[in-house]
Structure 1
Amino acid sequence: MNPDLMDAINQLEREKGISKEVLIEAIEAALISGYKRNFSSAQNVRVDINRQTGEVKVFARKEVKEEVEDPRLEISLDAARQINPNYQLEDVVEIEVTPKDFGRIAAQTAKQVVTQRIREAERVLIYSEFIDREDDIITGIVQRQDSRFFYIDLGKTEALLPLNEIMPTDHLKHGDRVKAYISKVEKTTKGPQIFVSRTHPGLLKRLFELEVPEIYDGTVEIKSVAREAGDRSKIAVHSIDENVDPVGACVGPKGLRVQTIVQELKGEKIDIVRWSSDPSEYVANALSPSKVIKVIVNEEEKMTRVVVPDYQLSLAIGKRGQNARLAAKLTGWKIDIKNESKALEEGIIQPGEQLNLSEEMEENIEN
């Protein structure tokens, strides 16, 4: 075997972290198969690679027997003692059988094994890196598309963006830079597969973490996200510091922070609402931008009945029920919306009754 290959193996150990001994043992195992295949041998052989020079030797291993039945696997005691007088029955004798042109086969086999081990090691490193980044956001470049996926170049590897995980407003083409959410990392025989999404609610959450320092440092918490990708989303936020307005922090100066996210999501509308431990307040906030007169909470059935002004009914329900549907997803409460006239008629509310909201909450709903 070429001494240069030993230098390459030593370098791989330093740079890739692949053990030199593991590599050499793998090459020796591959050479045994290569020897048997190329020289039609049924012998029990051992291959030895000199760790310094890279020299390869092949030894036939034969058991010492009183009567030899298979000369490929056995040797007589007399023949063994001609090699070394100390041999006894049942000992194993090693006889060098290295073919003349075995160096060429050894070099080819070694290169194949090293290449394979490098590929395996890189796969392990890539898997280790990305399995720790599940539920995180990545930026890549669109490479190509087939009937199932967009292939996103991440530098070291590719991510798979399923066609059903892109937003209706996405019009991706080769060379586009795109942000996506790592939804799943799988280990396969072909290496790690990284699945990403543009529709996952986690993408919206991570984008806010990137844009809003108060979320990143933990002052503002994202309590819940509800999303209909490419159309409208709602996000509930809470501040652990009473001096920090969570909604204002997410909107940013002149709306710059939220607008950056809206642009990344191709114009997706985002309602930022204040979270509350009081379900009546939380549901009222979640139905923003609609005003709310009253919220009646049924704890047992996890259900709320919400009364809104007559002129706000369509706004509260939203186009194709979207506003109410997102509010229910956001809060985890079922929401039944009635207009004021119907609620008065059914005695659900009394004339002049109104939900007791703080001025700050009322301002939130109006916005």
Structure 2
Amino acid sequence: MSKEMIQALDALEQEKGVKKEVVIEALEAALVSAYKRNYNQAQNVDVEFDPKQGDIHVYAVKEVTDEVFDSRLEVSLKDALAINKAYEIGDQIKFEVTPKDFGRIAAQTAKQVIMQRVREAERSIVYDEYSQYEDEILQGVVERRDNRFIYVNLGKIEAVLGRQDQMPNEKYEAHDRIKVYVTKVENTSKGPQVFVSRTHPGLVKRLFEQEVPEIFDGTVEIVNIAREAGDRTKIAVRATNDAVDAVGTTVGPRGARVQAVVNELSGENMDVVQWEEDPADYIANALNPAQVIAVQFNDEDNDRSATVIVPDYQLSLAIGKKGQNARLAAKLTGYKIDIKPESEVEFVDDDELSEAEVEAAAAADDQDNASQAPSDDTEVDQANDEADETPVTPSTHDQPQA
């Protein structure tokens, strides 16, 4: 038994990286419990394992006292001095009490401890490997599902895709290969657990890093992402090099780069907009594809709110279906956005208009002039069609009915 024990400890250290001392400490603690359980002993006990010879010794630990009340826990000073004249009251003395048949119990206990340490070591290795993938993309295979989770095989571990992390426009079937974003890796009592997502904004960011080399190397920076997974995402970008067109680079030739991300996300629409340091320009860009005449900030409010004025015929487009365009723009910029049609605004101070807004206003005027042409009825019908969407705006102001 001693030779087998030493070999097992050596193998565990070499193959799993578990220090021999750690296993011996756990083994000694387990043997103490095994001794008390099998021999109905309640005294203080120490178990010592000799890593060189493989021998196991059990010792009863007793305290030196003047008067003995419990012989299992105490030894008289007289008896202690007979052993060694240096002993004093309060000293601890070890008496070997190793049972003759303790070797069998020790072998069983050692096997259990070693197996437990092997499992812990394997779990630790898996945890260390996958914890480095937090906030990264991994590709896995759908293994199975239940009422709450989709289970994705990542190779050495099965990740959990919760209901809130599943795309509403996707169905996951066994053997499907999918890319997932690792949100969290935990080391639990049952082993490491990996949580992944298909709805996290980080998935969009990592996908663009894979498709756009300029984003990966930092030439183009993703400033912020506002996402309603499965439907639409707005992404704000800026270039660290003035010679680079951030939006054009991100979209790619003929939209190839952004289309690759759209395809990976099962048709989720992508709006790539230019980030601007000027909040007015940034908000105007964020409301793309709608034209913006002016952005006015409510200085008396401390909650970062702005009123955005758009041409009447662009109102539905600016708000978006069920308020989505305005909602995503607000999330992207960090401003509460109140959208008003131009006809409801009596006066707009030109000094508050950014250059981009002045150009947009001019374009809106040109559009209004063009609307006097014989094609008037067609454009009115188009405006009515857009208004029929019954837009929902984040503003508390009532919108006029088309």
Return the TM-score normalized by structure 1.
0.85
The corresponding residue for 2:258 is 258
Equivalent pair of 1:66/1:89 in contact (CA under 8 Å): no
1:338 aligns with 2:340: yes
Equivalent pair of 1:77/1:87 in contact (CA under 8 Å): no
Equivalent pair of 1:294/1:354 in contact (CA under 8 Å): no
1:249 aligns with 2:241: no
1:32 aligns with 2:28: no
Partner Cα distance (1:333, 1:285) in 2: 13
User: Aligned-pair distance for 1:104?
Assistant: 2.1
Of residues 152-161 and 216-225 in structure 1, the stretch that sits farther from structure 2 once superposed is 152-161
Alignment map for 1:109-258 (pairs within 5 Å) = 109-258=109-258
1:325 aligns with 2:327: yes
User: Aligned-pair distance for 1:339?
Assistant: 3.2
Deviations 1:81-129 (A, max 9, x none): 77x5656454544343322332221122112222223333444444455
Code of the aligned partner of 1:243: A
Q: Residue 170 of structure 1: SS of its match in structure 2?
A: coil
The corresponding residue for 2:268 is 268
Instruction: Call closer, same or farther: CA 1:39–1:283 in 2, change over 3 Å.
Output: same
Equivalent pair of 1:64/1:77 in contact (CA under 8 Å): yes
User: Aligned-pair distance for 1:292?
Assistant: 2.6
Code of the aligned partner of 2:157: T
Q: Residue 313 of structure 2: SS of its match in structure 1?
A: helix
User: Aligned-pair distance for 1:78?
Assistant: 6.8
Instruction: Call closer, same or farther: CA 1:314–1:69 in 2, change over 3 Å.
Output: closer
Of residues 30-39 and 72-81 in structure 1, the stretch that sits farther from structure 2 once superposed is 72-81
Q: Residue 357 of structure 2: SS of its match in structure 1?
A: coil
Code of the aligned partner of 1:334: K
Of residues 64-73 and 324-333 in structure 1, the stretch that sits farther from structure 2 once superposed is 64-73
Code of the aligned partner of 1:208: F
User: Aligned-pair distance for 1:144?
Assistant: 2.1
Partner Cα distance (1:276, 1:284) in 2: 10
Partner Cα distance (2:176, 2:2) in 1: 45
Q: Residue 60 of structure 1: SS of its match in structure 2?
A: strand
Instruction: Call closer, same or farther: CA 1:186–1:300 in 2, change over 3 Å.
Output: farther
Instruction: Call closer, same or farther: CA 1:311–1:48 in 2, change over 3 Å.
Output: same
Partner Cα distance (2:88, 2:99) in 1: 28
Code of the aligned partner of 1:261: V
The corresponding residue for 1:72 is 72
Equivalent pair of 1:231/1:268 in contact (CA under 8 Å): yes
Deviations 1:332-352 (A, max 9, x none): 122232334444xx33489xx
Instruction: Call closer, same or farther: CA 1:244–1:102 in 2, change over 3 Å.
Output: same
Partner Cα distance (2:356, 2:58) in 1: 93
Q: Residue 8 of structure 2: SS of its match in structure 1?
A: helix
1:60 aligns with 2:60: yes
Partner Cα distance (1:324, 1:77) in 2: 87
Code of the aligned partner of 2:149: F
Q: Tell me the number of residue pairs that the alignment of Structure 1 and Structure 2 aligns.
A: 354
Instruction: Call closer, same or farther: CA 1:322–1:67 in 2, change over 3 Å.
Output: closer
Partner Cα distance (2:281, 2:222) in 1: 17
Supply the RMSD in Å over aligned alpha carbons.
Answer: 2.9
Deviations 1:163-218 (A, max 9, x none): 12211112112222222223334443333433222212122112212221111111
Deviations 1:29-73 (A, max 9, x none): 110110110111223322121112322222333445565443333
The corresponding residue for 1:365 is none
Identity of aligned residues (%): 57
Return the TM-score normalized by structure 2.
0.78
Unaligned runs of 5+ in 1: 363-367
Partner Cα distance (2:322, 2:93) in 1: 84
Equivalent pair of 2:281/2:356 in contact (CA under 8 Å): no
